Structure formats: C-alpha cells, structure tokens
Amino acid sequence: MKRKIPVYQYHDAWQILARSNRDNGVVIDAASEEIMLRIENEMSRLKVMGDDDSRYFWIWAQTNNRERKWLRVRTAHYKGFHYLTLSDGRYEMAVLQNAESVYSNNKQYREDLKAPLLALEKHVKAVVDWICEDPEEYNAYVERYLPYHKRSGDIPRRVLYSIDPDWHDNKDDERLIRGLEAVKASEPSKYDKITLRVYISIWSSAFRVIARIRSEGSDDWYDKQRLNDAKTMTDIELFKRYNSKGRQVEGLDLDSEDGYKEWYGENSAYHCMDVTYARIHLAPWRKEDSEPYRFHLYFGVYGYYDDVAEIAIALHEQGITLVVDEIDSILKILRQEDMVGFRPWPDKYMDRDGVTSQMWLPHIGDVSREIYWKIIKNTTWHKQKKAWPNDNDKGHTV
C-alpha cells in the first residue's frame, strides 16, 4: 500500500474496546459525542450499508511490537439516537448519544473518550478519503490482506469432522438419528385441554431427562443435587423448585384450565415454559380453538440441540410424542449434512446466515498448523461487503 494512512495505535483503540458493554452500551460526555458525530459525518460520505443509515468498513491499528490489528468501525443513527461501534472480533463497544436511549435500567455514566476518539477520527478520515478517491483499490486491499479470523466462511460439517475428528464430540449420533426419525414419523400426542397438572407432568418428564444428562460424568454438586431431586421429588415439588416461575402455581387450581391460563397469563412463554432457563422451551399450542393441543419443544441455541433430541426421544418412549420445531435442523447436524459457518462475530442461534451453526475459526495452537490450513483450504470464504462513496461526494485528496 503506497498511501500514507496515519498510524492508528492499538492502545487508542483499546481505550474504547476496554469499555465494551455490548448489551447496554456506554454513554459518552458531550465533548466526546461531538467527535463521534464528526466521525459519523465523515462516514456519511459513503453509501448506506444497512439499517439505521449504518455504514462500516475495516481499519487497522498498530501494536507496540508493530503487529497489525484489524478493526471494524460502524456508525448509525435512528431518530436522534446516534451510536458508533468499534469491533475487533472479540470485543465490541457501543458509544451512545444519551442515557435516555439506553434500553436498560442499568444506566451507564458518561465517559470521557475524547483522546481515543480523536485518534480514531484522524484515521477514519484518511480511510474515507481513500475510499472516495479509489474505492476499488481500498476494497481490493481489504480483500487481499484481511485475516481469515475477520472473515466469514462456510464449510460442510462432514468435511470439518474429517479434517479434525476432535470437532465431533463423539455422541451416539446413530441412536439419536433413529430416535428422532421415530418421533418425526409419529403423530404428536393430543390434549383436549391444558391444566397445570397436565403441563407440570410433561414438563417434569422433560426436566428429568435434562437432570440425567447433566449428571453423567459430572462432579458438580448442583448436577448431583438436581439428579437426586429429579429421582425423589414429586412432579409438583420439582416444578416449584426448578421452573423459573414454578412457585407462582401456589394457590392455583391444578386441575382447571383457568388455573393454567392464570399462571401463563401472568408470565411469558420465555420464562415460564423453559425446561432449562431461557434456552429449551416446552409449550402447548393449537392453531384453532376447535383443534386439540400439541406440545412443542423448541430451543434455537445451537449448543442445546442434543439435549432437545434426548428429551424428545425419551418422552416418545414414554408415550408422549412432542412436536420438535427444529427437528430437521437437528437431523442435518447428526447426519453431517449441514454447513458450519466461521464468523468473526458468531451467532449462538441456529439457522442464521445460511448455516446451521456458527463459530470462531480456531487459531494455530488450538489446532495444529496442518489442520488449520486444511480448514482454510476447504472453507468457502465470503467476499467482503464493499465500501463505496456516495454519488454526490466530490472526492478529497489524500
């Protein structure tokens, strides 16, 4: 690269990244906000790339030992709410305009980030100038030099497992496949009405499966206590202790539909229908009042697919057939017919961005050099989304 882009020190970037608060953001003071808005204005010379008038591109920072760190900077705004994110793949910091725009009761104090934002502004301006003058050159540079750990790529699960069998956790896949195929081929169990006793009975059966799975090979006292409770407690006792809203059934009629409706109505499916907290959910559902209820088992977070399979199979063997919403995706994983996505910011949820599951690309050291480069070679890497100047930008000299 012949262009003289001002050196952006990673120390300055770290002053921002170290204040990472992905969930609530960090509110900055008025002087820092002014600089942030200037950065947003500079980036507005580029074409919009997403919702909230967002624009983003890759920049780089230099460490003390002259190592280059690639970072993604993004600005966006919505109805007077402005924010900037600086991301290095592991940390992400949201700089917000005002406390009223933070969607949380956990209000963050206003931070003075003038110095690191001034350093960022200088670097961003030089990169935007480059993009506006010669976008093809900038985008080609990023495409050539951006590290694989900052890229997105897809690899067939079967190929990944063949390269490194350690990625396959050696579960009894064939047994799970046979069990899920039997569940899928069977008519789901039907219920004319749902009472608390009916719900608690099926919930407890599912919970006992989780308790057994979690205790296998575990020395954790909680896992052992949970298994003991699952073996010795009644359904009602188990539900009250381990369901996040279980104690709220106290005083309600367990054998009437009204009792169930009152309990459900005071909560949300997210936090009262969970077999494991906020992860695996069990809920009765029907499309029309004239139809019977069927129990749906659903989850979404990739790391729980085998637990869901175990629950569905165990209850099916007990004569209770559930509707498993993600059963096709689970079967694809078990049969190794799906795709795994390497992402710089992997999503924990399944079936996002064209792949069943996402993860970070391993580093050399996590795997051998030979395995690392085999994974790289067998992965289909996505092209980077290009940054382009607005049509009305007159261009600046670099």
Each residue's pLDDT tens digit in the chain (398 positions)? 557 788 899 999 988 887 665 555 777 888 998 999 999 999 999 999 999 999 999 999 999 888 999 999 999 998 888 888 898 876 566 665 554 554 555 455 667 889 999 999 999 999 999 999 999 999 999 999 999 999 999 999 999 999 999 988 767 899 999 999 999 999 999 999 999 999 999 999 999 999 999 999 899 999 999 999 999 999 999 999 999 899 999 999 999 999 999 999 888 766 778 898 778 999 999 999 999 999 999 998 888 999 999 999 999 999 999 999 999 999 999 999 999 999 998 988 888 888 999 999 999 999 999 999 999 999 999 999 999 999 876 544 33
Distance between CA atoms of 388 and 133, rounded to whole angstroms? 10
pLDDT of amino acid 50: 93
pLDDT of amino acid 388: 97
Asked if 16 contacts 51 with a C-beta cutoff of 8 angstroms, the reply is no
Could you tell me the pTM of the whole model? 0.86
Tens digits of per-residue pLDDT, 186-241?
999 999 999 999 999 999 999 999 999 999 989 999 999 999 999 999 999 999 99
Distance between CA atoms of 307 and 184, rounded to whole angstroms? 16
Cβ-Cβ contacts under 8 Å for 242 (sequence gap 6 or more): 207, 226, 229
Distance between CA atoms of 343 and 351, rounded to whole angstroms? 14
Q: Could you tell me the two tokens for 206?
A: 């599912």
Distance between CA atoms of 244 and 180, rounded to whole angstroms? 28
Q: Which of 138, 110, 148, 126 is nearest to 34 (CA)?
A: 110
Distance between CA atoms of 71 and 345, rounded to whole angstroms? 12
pLDDT of amino acid 101: 52
Asked if 388 contacts 124 with a C-beta cutoff of 8 angstroms, the reply is no
Q: Fill in the amino acid letter for 262.
A: E
Q: Could you tell me the two tokens for 223?
A: 């896992």
